[in-house]
Amino acid sequence: MTALEMHDVVVTHAGRRLVDVPHLRVGPDRPVTIVGESGSGKSLLAHALMGTLASTLEVDGKVDIGGRLLPLAERGNRRALWGSEVAMLPQEPALALDPTMRVGRQVAEGVLGATRETARTRAAAALASVGLPGASRTFPHTLSGGMAQRVAYAAATVGGARVLVVDEPSKGLDPASVDRLAELLLRHVVDGGLLLTITHDLRLAAALGGEVAVMRDAEVLESGEAAQVLERPRHDYTRRLVAAAPERWRHPWQRTGWETTAEPLVEATGLAKAYGSQQLFADLDVRVRPGERVALSGPSGVGKTTLGGALLRIVAPDAGRVVHHDSLRGRVQKLYQDPALSFPTLVPIEVGLRDVVKRHGADPRRLDQLVADLRLAPELLTRRPAEVSGGELQRVAIARMLLARPRLVLADEATSRLDLLTQETTIDALVRGLDDDAALLVVTHDSALADAVADTHLHLSGGDGQDAT
């Protein structure tokens, strides 16, 4: 297969254009990466290629795969190519992996037309090639985000597909894990494959090289060599996108030297947690006071999410004690790293949000204001969760949480699917939307984001190592 080309791709919903891309070509030795803000149409373009768009979305255009010109409107005409010629690394590994099936068996299912023993052997080799030689017998829930992403990569590529479509692969990953992911993806290109990556992560886009296209409001605004687009952008939007790093933020709510003598909302002493032989943390003391913002940072797999869950008392520690102030009863919320897991799949988004308004006695006008502050299109709320992007769903989850007016919030990689510009406006809306006496726990791999938001920064390094600033 010499190249993949898409022609005159248009995706619409209720007459509104969500994707309008006249031409896109992915050739050998030249990966293509599409960047842009959440809701720009990046992921929809990938699903249009695969034939996996939601049934409520209409699509037109054609794709040329290895000399076969296939109409995109006929969604089933690419199904026979899945796994053997075209594969997709999905945006949500937690949803793509069956929680009841061991990892090795899931990867082996991607080996088509082989005996069970051959499939198992190839699956074990694929897992070893991504640095997980002993993972065959494990279950997905025991994996960190970076490990789950590598398992998903092994499952997507074990069948030998030449075309690999990768949708937001670096969400929630620390910089070292992003670098390892880039090496995996580039290995596919070196081996003769074609690579189309959808991402908001400019670090990953730069590491992959090749060509970068910038999307906004359904269209490609700028494209060219990765170095040119990311270092010398021509379009004003691209320049603002590249410049919106957390270390450059200047917001009235940012503060230094914050102190309070108020009684803690959460007081944890002597916390310890391990999974099997892996000690995540031990003998850890944490206090969270009203109005305080605490960042839990560190590489993938060190226990950030687990510690956050322990502080909310939804994860039981192996040792230690967590005490909540009486005022927290019923006023604790968690923003999940994979927001799709927290939404009913068959219910329109607006129905769920109106239920929250009714249950918590919120002012309906507050919902309208949050939708505006979070830069969400009002018509988006009429769709089901699967019909919006992961980044849009993250922002809907934040709006839903703020409607409940919690006193303690755990935000677990709550902006991991967002481009830098949208991340800044989203964090601004999140912090301003909380009551003054509400505490915020931020789980993030991004130290710059942690420093920009938090009063207290707890960096986990694994085992019993942690540093507080």
Mean pLDDT across the stretch 398-423? 93
How long, in residues, is the chain? 469
Sign of torsion, CA 158 159 161 166? Answer: negative
- Per-residue confidence at 66, pLDDT binned at 50, 70, 90? confident
What was the pLDDT predicted at 16?
A: 93
Q: Residue holding tokens 């509400």?
A: 438
Does the pLDDT value for residue 284 go beyond 80? yes
What was the pLDDT predicted at 144?
A: 73
Question: In Å, what is the CA distance from 438 to each residue of 55, 99, 286, 331?
Answer: 41, 34, 17, 10
Which burial class, exposed, middle or buried, applies to 443 when counting CB atoms under 10 A from its CB (0-12, 13-18, 19+)? buried
Which burial class, exposed, middle or buried, applies to 436 when counting CB atoms under 10 A from its CB (0-12, 13-18, 19+)? exposed
pLDDT above 90: percentage of residues in the chain = 72
Measure the CA–CA gap between 287 and 265, rounded to whole angstroms.
8
- Contacts of residue 277, Cβ cutoff 8 Å, sequence gap at least 6: none
Domains present along the chain, CATH in parentheses: 4-248 (3.40.50.300), 256-459 (3.40.50.300)
Strand order in the sheet with 278-288: 278-288, 266-275, 319-324
Distance from CA of residue 418 to its chain's centroid? 8
CA angle 421, 426, 428 (to 5 degrees): 100
Mean pLDDT across the stretch 390-401? 93
Each residue's pLDDT tens digit, 145-185? 778 888 998 999 999 999 999 998 887 677 777 888 899 89
Task: Give the residue, 31 or 245, on which the prediction is more confident.
Answer: 31
Q: Residue holding tokens 């991004």?
A: 446
Residue 111 corresponds to which amino acid? Answer: V
Tell me the helix, strand and coil percentages in the chain, rounded to 5.
40, 25, 35
Sign of torsion, CA 303 307 313 319? Answer: positive
Q: Residue 264 in 3-state DSSP? A: coil
What was the pLDDT predicted at 248?
A: 85
Q: Residue holding tokens 């796994």?
A: 83
Picking from 110-119, 157-166, 288-297, 457-466, which range would have the lowest pLDDT averaged per residue?
Answer: 457-466
Measure the CA–CA gap between 454 and 449, rounded to whole angstroms.
8
Residue 142 corresponds to which amino acid? Answer: T
User: What are the phi and psi torsion angles at 342 (to 5°)?
Assistant: -105, 10
Report residue 416 as tokens. Answer: 């991991």
Measure the CA–CA gap between 211 and 229, rounded to whole angstroms.
9
- Contacts of residue 326, Cβ cutoff 8 Å, sequence gap at least 6: none
CA angle 154, 23, 5 (to 5 degrees): 45
- Per-residue confidence at 1, pLDDT binned at 50, 70, 90? low
Measure the CA–CA gap between 401 and 433, rounded to whole angstroms.
10
Q: Residue holding tokens 């960047």?
A: 35
Q: Residue holding tokens 């075209």?
A: 86
Measure the CA–CA gap between 386 and 364, rounded to whole angstroms.
25
CB 32 within 8 A of CB 50: no
* Count of other CB atoms within 10 angstroms of residue 384: 16
Each residue's pLDDT tens digit, 236-281? 999 999 888 898 899 999 998 899 999 999 999 999 999 888 899 9
